[in-house]
Amino acid sequence: MSERKDYTMNEQKSIKGCLAGKILWVDLSKDKFWCEDTENYALKTMGGRGINSLIMLERIQDNTKWTDPENLLCFGVGSMVGTMAPGACRVDISTINVFSGGKGSANVGGFWGPELKYAGYDNLIIIGKAKNPVYLYINDDDIQIRSAENLWGKDTFQTEEMLRAELRDKHIKIATIGPAGENRVKGSAIIVDTAKAAGGSGVGCVMGDKRLKAIVVRGHGKLNVAEPEKFMAVIAEYNMKCIKQEGTALIRKAPLNFYANPEWEGWNTNIVAKNGQDDQWEYEKRIRLMNPQTGVPNMVKRIRACYQCPTGCMPFMEIDKGEYKGTKGEGFWINTIMGHACRVDVSEPRAVVESWILTNKLGLDGDFAASVISWAFELYEKGIITKDDTDGLELNWSNSEAFIEMLKRLAYRKDIGNLLADGLTEAAAKIGRSSEDYIIQVKGQPSIEPFRVPKAWALAVSTSPVAGRHLRGATMGNTRYGPKPRVGSFNVIDYENQANGVYWQGKTKEIEDNLGICNYVGTWSGANFLDISDFVQLINYGMGLDVTEENLMDYYAPIGRNMEKAFNGLHTNMSRDDDMPPKRFLLEEVKSGPYKGFKIDEDQYNNMLDEYYNLWEWDVKTGRQTKTLLERLGMKEIADRLAKKGKIVKK
Residues 6+ apart with CB under 8 A from 157: 194, 329, 360, 361
Q: Is 433 left (phi over 0), alpha (psi -120 to 50) or beta?
A: left
Strand locations in 466-537 (E):
none
Q: Where are the alpha helices (DSSP H) in 46-118?
A: 49-59, 112-118
Band (pLDDT 50/70/90 cuts) for residue 464 is very high
Identify whether the C-beta of residue 57 lies closer than 8 Å to the C-beta of residue 198: no
Residue 104: beta bridge partners? 95
- Residue from 520, 560, 630 nearest 79 by CA: 560
Residue 5 has pLDDT above 70, yes or no: no
How far does Cα 143 stand from its chain's mean position? Answer: 28
Query: What pLDDT does 12 receive?
Result: 58
Task: Judge contact between 332 and 341, C-beta under 8 A.
Answer: no
Residue 511 corresponds to which amino acid? Answer: I
The answer to whether residue 10 scores a pLDDT higher than 60 is no
3-state SS, residue 392? coil
- CATH fold of 455-644 reads 1.10.599
Share of the chain above pLDDT 70, in %: 98
Going by C-beta distance under 8 Å and a sequence separation of 6 or more, which residues neighbour residue 82? 18, 20, 88, 113, 114, 117, 118, 223
Which residues are bridge partners to 22 per DSSP? 37, 121
Average pLDDT value for residue range 269-296: 97
Between CA 606 and CA 609 the distance in angstroms is 5
Q: pLDDT band for 204, please (50, 70, 90 cuts).
A: very high
Asked if 9 and 40 count as a contact pair (C-beta separation under 8 A), the reply is: yes
Q: Residue 489: is its pLDDT beyond 90? A: no
646 phi-psi bin (left φ>0, alpha ψ -120 to 50, beta other) = left
Per-residue pLDDT at 1: 30
CB contact set of 392 (below 8 Å; sequence gap of 6+): none
**Residues 151 and 207 sit within 8 Å (Cβ to Cβ):** no
Q: Which of 269, 645, 248, 257 is nearest to 494 (CA)?
A: 269
Per the CB < 8 A criterion, the answer to whether 151 and 162 are in contact is yes
Supply the pLDDT for residue 276.
97
The answer to whether the CB of 552 falls within 8 A of the CB of 535 is yes
Does the structure show a pLDDT above 80 at 6? no
Q: CA-to-CA distance for 619 and 483, rounded, in angstroms?
A: 24
Question: How many other β-carbons are positioned within 10 Å of the β-carbon of residue 596?
Answer: 12
For the chain, percent of residues with pLDDT exceeding 90: 92
Give the start-to-end residue ranges of the domains of the chain.
Answer: 9-218, 256-446, 455-644
* Helix, coil or strand: residue 377: helix
Mean pLDDT of 454-461: 98
Residue spans of alpha helices (H) in 343-497: 349-362, 366-381, 400-411, 416-420, 424-431, 455-463
Residue 530 CB-density burial (10 A; 0-12 exposed, 13-18 middle, 19+ buried): buried
Task: Read off the pTM.
Answer: 0.97
- Give the residue among 327, 323, 271 at the shortest CA–CA distance from 299: 327
Question: Does the pLDDT at position 4 exceed 80?
Answer: no
Residue 27's pLDDT is what? Answer: 98
Question: How many angstroms separate the CA atoms of 127 and 141, rounded?
Answer: 19
| Residue pair 201/97 in contact by the 8 Å Cβ criterion | yes
- Predicted confidence band at 250 (pLDDT cuts at 50, 70, 90)? confident
What CATH number is given for 256-446 in this structure? 1.10.569.10
CATH superfamily of the 9-218 domain: Aldehyde ferredoxin oxidoreductase, N-terminal domain (3.60.9.10)
pLDDT tens-digit profile of 85-133?
A: 999 999 999 999 999 999 999 999 999 999 999 999 999 999 999 999 9
State yes or no: pLDDT of 8 exceeds 70: no
Q: Could you read off the pLDDT of 390-418 as tens digits, one per residue? A: 999 999 999 999 999 999 999 999 999 99
DSSP 8-class letter at 6: -
Whether the bond between 485 and the residue before it is cis, its omega within 30 degrees of 0, is yes
Would you mind telling me the total number of residues written for the chain in this entry? 651
339: Cβ–Cβ under 8 A, 6 or more apart, which residues?
366, 367, 369, 370, 371, 374, 448
Quick one: pLDDT at residue 215? 99
What pLDDT sits at residue 11? 58
Mean pLDDT of 540-552: 97
Q: Which of 361, 467, 409 has its CA nearest to residue 97?
A: 467
The enclosing H or E element of 316 equals strand 314-318
